[in-house]
Chains A and B, each alone.
With several copies, the nearest count.
Chain A
Amino acid sequence: MNLIGQALTVVRKDLLLEWRGKGRLISVLMFGVVTLLLFSFAVGPDSTLLRAAAGGFLVLALLLSSTLGLSESFRVEQEQRAIEGLLLLPVDPIALYYGKTLSNTLFLMLLAPVLTPVALILYSVQLDLKGLAVLLGLWTLAAAGLSAPGTLYAAMTSRLQSQDVLLPLLLFPLVIPVLMGAVKSITLILTGDPMSQVGSWAALLASFAIIYWSLCGLLFPHAIEEGI
């Protein structure tokens, strides 16, 4: 079977697992909502302050939920060492990586359509439909950028003690460009975009995604050379 076929088989398996454990998506979403709420409590009831930081908080909530989703995606692989069962099969590690990354990207993409409206309401920010569409597009780029290194690191940490701490620890500093790009561009969208800077931030997000999709695909086979 060719690479693409194998990768799609991995995606299919992940979607099946996701479907079986529907709870995971829903609870990651609820986690995101609760995080959005927490931010407003942390800042206090002052709504101007909240509104100024709304874009940042939305992106942070998305990032935190994404990290949880990523580390969950390997939890199920390790439970009865199913991942070893996959590694023993003649599956190209590259197919494995891109399959897993793709299904993680799909998963992360689902977060924004739910969390954005909640953030808009909680932080009393307005956004028209066009703005929303642009925002979702940006998040798709960001999600792709997050899941490329995220999947690599989640695989590498999945069998270590305290993966849930290690993964964000490794990932957060790495994805600061994604964070900043997303925060900046989303804040621009929320506050109106007079200078049309969104484009260049989107370019940053896209290049991050492209670089890490290629780089991590090259590195992953080495990471799993001795199993995970």
Chain B
Amino acid sequence: MTRQFKWDSGIGLLGLLLLFVGSYIGLFVAPSERYMGEVQRIMYVHVPCAWNAMLVYMLAFIFAIISLWTHRPKWDAATTAAAEVGIVLNSLLLVQGSIWARATWGVWWDWDVRLTTSLIMLLLFAGVLALRSFVHDASRRATWTAIATIVAFVDVPLVYFCVRWWRSLHQVQSTPDTVAPMMVVPLRINAFAILFIAIWMMTQRARLELDRRRQDQVSEPERLAPIGGSNNA
């Protein structure tokens, strides 16, 4: 099967290239952090993953609204793709964060606001996909995915606030916020790199979903020749 070169493959390649450049700068050019040392360099994927996960979830939310409005399969595919890519980025974020936490704080997990919010976000959208996997009828699946996505996304700000208040009696985890410029550059580059890769993954995933739907899409059978009877309507 020959495939013509699609715009999204271009974006994907660009993203990989940028990721390579950004990571190179991050790993070898940028200064190492005063307290945490070399582990800190994990930040150059960690933070971009966090930003992009959020962004992609927001896209899922927007697609879900459009999907509910139009009932067009392509928006359902887009919603699913965004939710899934969001979950991938979110999981990466959690894994990277845990590794980082293990190295710096000595534990895999801590009940910090951002950590907790990220975990809940992951579970919220994983629930959406679980629901989706149980619905067999395509159009109902689209509607229910959209509804669950909307309901889940609206919850994110509430979760954020409640976790903040929940923590408020205890000390807030200190994070370095004074950042050297040589740290900002790779961060920015990688943010765009992961954004591009995310877009690429989403388009691929949406295509796959549409392909799958198309495979199921059997065209209507031939019209049978009516027998006998005149149309006595």
Contact = CB atoms under 8 A, between A and B. Distances in A.
Direct contact of A and B (CB under 8 A): yes
B130 A226 contact: no
Interface in A193-228: 200-201, 204, 207-208, 211-212, 215-216, 219, 222-223, 225-226
Contacts of A23: 130, 133-134
A69 interface: no
Interface residues of B, number: 41
A215 B109 contact: no
B114 interface: no
Contacts of B159: 176-177
A90 interface: no
B185 to A, nearest CB: 33
B158 A219 contact: no
B143 A222 contact: yes
Interface string B94-115: 0000100000000111110000
B130 A166 contact: yes
B98 A215 contact: no
Contacts of A173: 120, 123-124, 127, 152, 155
Contacts of A174: 124, 127, 151-152, 155
16 contacts: A30-B127, A30-B130, A34-B123, A37-B120, A40-B111, A156-B148, A157-B134, A161-B134, A169-B130, A170-B130, A172-B123, A173-B120, A180-B163, A204-B162, A207-B158, A223-B144
Interface of B: 68, 98, 107-111, 119-120, 123-124, 126-128, 130-131, 133-135, 137, 139-140, 143-144, 146-148, 150-152, 154-155, 158-159, 161-163, 165-167, 170
Given A30-B126, A173-B155, A180-B165, 8 more contacts: A121-B108, A121-B109, A124-B107, A153-B148, A166-B134, A176-B120, A180-B163, A216-B151
